[in-house]
Amino acid sequence: MSRLPPLSRRTLLRGLGAMMALPLLEGMRPGVARGASQAPVPRRFVAFYTPCGIHMAKWTPSGEGPDWSLTPTLASLAPVKDDVLVLGGLDNLPGRPDGDGHHAAATSAFLSCVKARKTEGANIRTGISMDQVLANAVGKATRFPSLELGIDPGKGIGNCDSGYACPYANNIAWAGPSTPVPKETQPRAAFERLFADFDPNVTQAELAKRRAYGLSIIDAVRDDAKALQGRLGTTDRRKLDEYFTGVRELELRVNAMAGAGPTCGTAVAPARTEDVREKTKAMLDLIVLAFQCDLTRTCTFMLGNARSQRVYSFLGLSGEHHAYSHHQKAQANYDALAKIDKWEVEQYAYLLQRMKGVQEEGGTLLDHSAVYFSSEIADGNMHEHRNLPILLAGRAGGALAPGRHVRYGGQPLANLYVSLLNMFGVPASTFGDDGTGPLTGLAG
Amino acid sequence: MAVAVWLLVGCDSSVPRARVLPGPDAGGPVDPLDALCRSESRDPGRVTLHRLNRAEYDNTVRDLLGDTGQPSQDFPPDDHGFGFDNNADVLSMSPLLMEKYSHAAERLVEAAWAKGTLRTCVLDPATPEPCARDLLRSFARRAWRRPVSAQEVEGLVGFIALARQHGDGPEVGVKLALRSVLVSPHFLFRVELDPAPASPRTHPISDVELASRLSYFLWSSMPDEALLKVAERGRLRDPVVLETQVRRMLADPKARALVDNFAGQWLYTRALDFAQPEARYGFDEPLRQAMREETRLLFQEFITGDHRLKDLLDAPFTYVNDRLATHYGLPPPGTDAMTRVSLEGHPERAGLFGKGALLTVTANADRTSPVKRGVWVLEQLLCKGPPPPPPNAGGLAPTVDPTLNIKERMRQHRVDPTCSGCHTLMDPLGFGLENFDPVGRWRLKEEGGAAVDPSGELPGGKVFNGVVEMRAVVKQDPDLSRCMTRHLLSYALGRGAEPSDRCNVHDIAQQAESRGGRLVDYILAIVRSDAFQQRGGDTEGPKP
């Protein structure tokens, strides 16, 4: 059985130990030590999804280009205004459902720009998501090709959205047309996955042995699965293929174990909680930490699942998010939505400020990143798939010129993804159902 | 032909055939499905390779290793389909999950080894193989829910040699083997083999596969020794043995899984954990807890009790403690413990529609929702879900005159022709529950001060006034029994009941009702059915 060589970035990780002694939730000290011999600072990507659309009247800035003003909903972006692009007029028409099911269909198309097949059952089909295309291209360089995080574990009752199966509503990351990539919704579990493997007191010999044992188990179960393969029908084999993919990835992890990791394990793990504010903050902190440690370069984050019925009682609201989003032009509903939207943007602004606070060679972590924010729809009442509420922050290592409000007047969202992929060195010229080429105007 | 097979497998000979499949001369209204299903051949359908969901994983390691630490709480959430999170089609495997399984396996084996329960013999350092062979054969058989081949056992024993190469003793090798058993596809999936994978032919599943279907249906867990033994001896398809096993399993505390996983999702009560009613309703954790327990205990009584399943709608008893009784306006039993009480004199509280858990999860956080409640009755009890609303439809606009009662305010839905079709179906059933506030307290006045009007008229002209009359209408609906069957069958199989299952559903419902209509009768009718005992061919055809 072929074994991949140990990953070379491990050398890089050795330099990170000192920083990691800080408690996780109290902010990272800027100034990560990077060895002189390192490759250029990597570019990172985040997709930040928020459900049920945005009340656009209070979102859309006045002014264009570099002369634009923050609206009430965007007010919390003030400290990072020069790091943010507001992009208007982008449409994701593949997100339109057959009949109803706007939230699920548009959520599965959020990063894939592929129309989902309307089904509750076995033949789920959408497209590979942009973050996973990216992970396939750049993910081999890091311990985790991508990270998928979220807040909402789902209630597990009823149907998710008008004949669309729940995976469409609960996942924005898709490894392939029928393979959603599940997200972690408990910060503590995500933390342990990222860091608990690393034990600074373990000897190299012990690590080598653990690795050998781990790989032997993998060999054994892979043989089990191979023996099964020929005795199953097509749909069952598809599930078994998912298993093989899991085993292959596990093998990469086990292989990586032999090297010394970052001593990130000494950071303080977040407490188990269901408070959405604490969970969100902890998840966003984890994203920053994972980037700092170069454990991954691509991350998706779902602030809620499609058609979220969360009650924002801490904002003084008593109704459910989805119910408010069908505002019926009632002022009270607009006001409630604006409060929720503002809170959502505050979370995004927090992430940006944390990233801006991390110094790397040649700039901040934010300078080296593209941090994308949007919802599956624009106006929730009409399930509008045009003129989506889009923010794009960071400089992507120089590929983005932020600090502007750009209006596109109706271009496919997929073209933004073509551009982003290109920024990360992925030579795409089309994407999804309707992406025709890169979007102009992002680099200024 | 298919009907004959079904009668053979599915029927106890003491039951007169006419009661199972009544002919047109059996009296009463003729159901058009009767005639259709007499001639229609049965497709048992095909259950996709089923990954253990979180509850199944936790219960399985509990029964296999005695570990009750619920390792799945750190696993990513399972998706659900057709209303259940045991739907095999949407239970994906992912690299993240694989990693969690691997970690869990290591931790579980270490913990179990430390307890000593797995060490059934002594591993002689010089020749550990004989003991290891016994121990691993027995463990793998239980974990994989089937007999294990000698070759498979030797593969596991091979870990001892590996450990030796690295200077470790036989214990280390055995623990590695145990870990590999727990991340093997045979453990993580419920494997059902196809004798001829490329053939579209229907075939019976094996006896041990049937044992697993049964135990994951009733227990959300692995078969125990008694069930596995019966299956290995090829006796499980004997109708008497099968019925004995089902009754035994339902009497076991592990059948609590049916309450948590089937009823919790069918009746939506699982959503109670997430309910956030407005502070002014005085909803708090003790109340949430009492409501949850009430529904659990009620359903629990239906698992082994002598009640007809349909009586869930108007069962004249419930379980309350002082807090919940006060909340309901019932005499407090004088204890904090949940106590069975009669609902004589309180007919409005009888059955599901009087239960706080259900009434809370089908209300908005800040007001009742006749639409949500109506849709719940239609979808979960009658399987007559309305089509989805048009895109610009939404919640009730709050600008409407609050002194009008909700029924008058909602009249606007039915004025608009695009809305009226569905709302004349959904709303009345919800209006029947309007005497219950968003947390299930009885009320005669709405919050705005208007008098509650709990009357309704259903399409077809049936009228009712209040919850007691409304639930009588629902209980008499001929679709109730088939709908309960449909949900139970979806859950039992871990696949959605498709349109092609209509005769499966029809037959099961008829058989269950003819035998008394208890939950156990439904369960028995399901486990006797072709859908449960057989497996359709792969309609997608052979892989190129």
Interface test with A, best of B51, B103, B149, B180 (most A CBs within 10 A): B180
Q: Given CB atoms, is A122 within the 8 Å cutoff of chain B?
A: yes
User: pLDDT of A142-175, one tens digit each?
Assistant: 989 999 999 999 877 888 888 899 999 999 999 9
pLDDT at B402: 64
pLDDT at B29: 59
Which residue bears the tokens 């009668």? B7
B529 to chain A nearest CA, in Å? 22
- Number of C-alpha atoms within 13 angstroms, CB side, residue A357? 14
A268 to chain B nearest CA, in Å? 17
- Do A180 and B92 lie within an 8 Å CB cutoff? yes
Range with lowest mean pLDDT among A90-104, A133-147, B11-25, B288-302? B11-25
Percent of all residues in chain B with a pLDDT value above 90, rounded to a whole number = 77
Range with lowest mean pLDDT among A83-97, A194-208, B115-129, B511-525? A194-208
- Across the range A30-55, mean pLDDT stands at 75
Which residue bears the tokens 């005159």? B401
Q: Does the CA dihedral B263-B265-B269-B270 come out positive or negative?
A: positive
Binned at pLDDT 50, 70 and 90, residue B25 comes out as very low
Residue B523 has pLDDT above 80, yes or no: yes
Q: Given CB atoms, is A31 within the 8 Å cutoff of chain B?
A: no
Q: How far is CA B515 from the centre of its chain?
A: 22
Percent of all residues in chain A with a pLDDT value above 70, rounded to a whole number = 88
Interface size, chain A vs chain B, as Cβ–Cβ contacts under 8 Å? 241
Q: What separation in angstroms does the CA of B241 have from each of B7, B244, B305, B381, B521?
A: 17, 5, 21, 32, 15
B138 to chain A nearest CA, in Å? 18
User: pLDDT of A298-329, one tens digit each?
Assistant: 999 999 999 999 999 999 999 999 999 999 89
Residue B155 has pLDDT above 60, yes or no: yes
Please name the amino acid found at residue A274. Answer: E
Closest residue of chain A to B375, computed from CA coordinates: A158
**Residue partners of A185: CB distance under 8 A and separation at least 6:** A149, A150, A151, A152, A153, A279, B76, B77
Burial of A381 (0-12, 13-18, 19+ CB in 10 A): buried
What are phi and psi for residue B455, nearest 5 degrees?
-95, 160
Range with lowest mean pLDDT among A2-6, A380-384, B395-399? A2-6
- Chain B hits for A158, CB-CB cut-off 8 Å, are 83, 268, 379
CA angle, corner A213, sides to A208 and A218, nearest 5? 125
pLDDT at B476: 95
Q: Which of residues 54-83 of A touch B (CB under 8 A)?
A: none
- Chain B hits for A379, CB-CB cut-off 8 Å, are none
**Measured between CB atoms, which of A166, A220, A382 is closest to B180?**
A220
Kindly state the tokens that stand for B214: 């049964």
- Do B365 and A180 lie within an 8 Å CB cutoff? no
- Across the range B518-532, mean pLDDT stands at 98
Residue B193 has pLDDT above 90, yes or no: yes
Report DSSP state, residue B93: -
Kindly state the tokens that stand for A175: 């490894």
How far apart CA B114 and CA B310 sit, in angstroms, is 49
pLDDT at A267: 65
Kindly state the tokens that stand for B113: 């080894």
Top pLDDT among A207 and B102 is at B102
Q: Are A262 and A34 in contact (CB under 8 A)?
A: no
CB atoms within 10 A of CB A43: 23
User: Is residue A209 within a helix (H) or strand (E), and if so which, with residue range?
Assistant: helix A204-229
- Chain B hits for A165, CB-CB cut-off 8 Å, are 79, 81, 89-90
User: pLDDT of A229-275, one tens digit each?
Assistant: 989 988 899 999 999 999 999 998 888 775 555 544 446 789 888 89
pLDDT at A406: 98
- Chain B hits for A183, CB-CB cut-off 8 Å, are 76
User: pLDDT of A73-132, one tens digit each?
Assistant: 999 999 999 999 999 999 999 999 998 899 999 999 999 999 999 998 878 999 999 999
pLDDT at B458: 86
CA angle, corner B24, sides to B20 and B29, nearest 5? 95
- Do B81 and A121 lie within an 8 Å CB cutoff? yes
pLDDT averaged over every residue in chain B = 90
How far apart CA A258 and CA A5 sit, in angstroms, is 11
Highest mean pLDDT among A36-45, A187-196, B304-313: B304-313
What is the total residue count of chain B?
Answer: 544
Instruction: Name the 3-class secondary structure at B403.
Output: coil
Interface test with A, best of B102, B144, B498 (most A CBs within 10 A): B102
CA-wise closest residue to B473 among B314, B267, B343: B314
- Across the range B497-518, mean pLDDT stands at 95
pLDDT at B408: 80
pLDDT at A264: 46
B493 to chain A nearest CA, in Å? 13
Q: Which of residues 207-246 of A touch B (CB under 8 A)?
A: 209, 212-214, 216-217, 220-221, 223-225, 228, 230-237, 239-240, 242-243, 245-246
- Across the range A166-194, mean pLDDT stands at 94
Closest residue of chain A to B178, computed from CA coordinates: A217
- Across the range B318-337, mean pLDDT stands at 98
Closest residue of chain A to B495, computed from CA coordinates: A121
- Chain A hits for B179, CB-CB cut-off 8 Å, are 217
- Across the range A1-8, mean pLDDT stands at 30
A37 to chain B nearest CA, in Å? 32
- Do B194 and A156 lie within an 8 Å CB cutoff? no
Q: Are B451 and B444 in contact (CB under 8 A)?
A: yes
Residue B4 has pLDDT above 60, yes or no: no
Q: What separation in angstroms does the CA of A404 have from each of A87, A424, A441, B161, B447?
A: 9, 21, 10, 65, 49
Beta bridge partners of B339: B320
How far apart CA A353 and CA A355 sit, in angstroms, is 5
Q: Given CB atoms, is A163 within the 8 Å cutoff of chain B?
A: yes
Q: What separation in angstroms does the CA of A426 have from each of A112, A138, A148, A299, B248?
A: 16, 9, 20, 17, 60
pLDDT averaged over every residue in chain A = 88
Q: Given CB atoms, is A182 within the 8 Å cutoff of chain B?
A: yes
B313 to chain A nearest CA, in Å? 19
Q: Are A306 and A161 in contact (CB under 8 A)?
A: yes
Top pLDDT among A141 and A197 is at A141
pLDDT at B539: 66
Binned at pLDDT 50, 70 and 90, residue B21 comes out as very low
Closest residue of chain A to B263, computed from CA coordinates: A157
Residue-wise over B148-180: b if at least 16 C-beta within 10 A, else e?
beeebbebbbbbbebbeeeebebbbbbbbbbbb
User: pLDDT of B53-80, one tens digit each?
Assistant: 999 999 999 999 999 999 999 999 999 9
How far apart CA A257 and CA A4 sit, in angstroms, is 12
Please name the amino acid found at residue A57. Answer: A
- Do B89 and A246 lie within an 8 Å CB cutoff? no
- Across the range A8-35, mean pLDDT stands at 32
- Across the range B357-383, mean pLDDT stands at 94
B233 to chain A nearest CA, in Å? 23
Q: Given CB atoms, is A274 within the 8 Å cutoff of chain B?
A: no
Closest residue of chain A to B276, computed from CA coordinates: A311
pLDDT at B423: 81
B470 to chain A nearest CA, in Å? 23
Residue A32 has pLDDT above 60, yes or no: no
CA-wise closest residue to B339 among B283, B293, B270, B387: B293
How far apart CA B45 and CA B354 sit, in angstroms, is 37
**Measured between CB atoms, which of A120, A154, A221 is closest to B183?**
A221
pLDDT at B471: 96
Kindly state the tokens that stand for B393: 């439809």
Binned at pLDDT 50, 70 and 90, residue B105 comes out as very high
Interface test with B, best of A217, A222, A298 (most B CBs within 10 A): A217
Alpha-carbon radius of gyration of chain A: 22
- Do B89 and A124 lie within an 8 Å CB cutoff? yes
Q: Bin A362: left if φ > 0, else alpha if -120 < ψ < 50, else beta.
A: left
Top pLDDT among A35 and A228 is at A228
Q: Given CB atoms, is A425 within the 8 Å cutoff of chain B?
A: no
B222 to chain A nearest CA, in Å? 20
- Do A217 and B176 lie within an 8 Å CB cutoff? yes
What is the total residue count of chain A?
Answer: 444
Top pLDDT among B404 and B530 is at B530
- Chain A hits for B193, CB-CB cut-off 8 Å, are 228, 231-232
How far apart CA A180 and CA A97 sit, in angstroms, is 18
Residue B158 has pLDDT above 70, yes or no: yes
Closest residue of chain B to A97, computed from CA coordinates: B391
User: pLDDT of A391-439, one tens digit each?
Assistant: 999 999 999 999 999 999 999 999 999 999 999 999 999 999 999 999 9
Alpha-carbon radius of gyration of chain B: 26
pLDDT at A436: 97
Query: How far apart are the two ends of chain B, measured CA to CA in Å?
Result: 33
Kindly state the tokens that stand for B171: 């214990």
pLDDT at B396: 52
Please name the amino acid found at residue B540. Answer: E
pLDDT at A16: 33
Closest residue of chain A to B274, computed from CA coordinates: A155
User: Is residue A371 within a helix (H) or strand (E), and if so which, with residue range?
Assistant: strand A369-375
How far apart CA B182 and CA B71 sit, in angstroms, is 13
- Do A318 and B366 lie within an 8 Å CB cutoff? yes
Q: What separation in angstroms does the CA of A84 have from each of A142, A352, A438?
A: 27, 9, 19
Q: Bin B385: left if φ > 0, else alpha if -120 < ψ < 50, else beta.
A: beta
Kindly state the tokens that stand for A436: 């025709």
- Do B395 and A328 lie within an 8 Å CB cutoff? yes
pLDDT at B394: 54
How far apart CA A75 and CA A60 sit, in angstroms, is 11
- Do B543 and A158 lie within an 8 Å CB cutoff? no
Q: Are B495 and A121 in contact (CB under 8 A)?
A: yes
Closest residue of chain A to B173, computed from CA coordinates: A213
**Residue partners of A227: CB distance under 8 A and separation at least 6:** none
- The pTM is what? 0.90
pLDDT at B13: 34
- Chain A hits for B184, CB-CB cut-off 8 Å, are 220-221, 224-225
Q: Bin B320: left if φ > 0, else alpha if -120 < ψ < 50, else beta.
A: beta
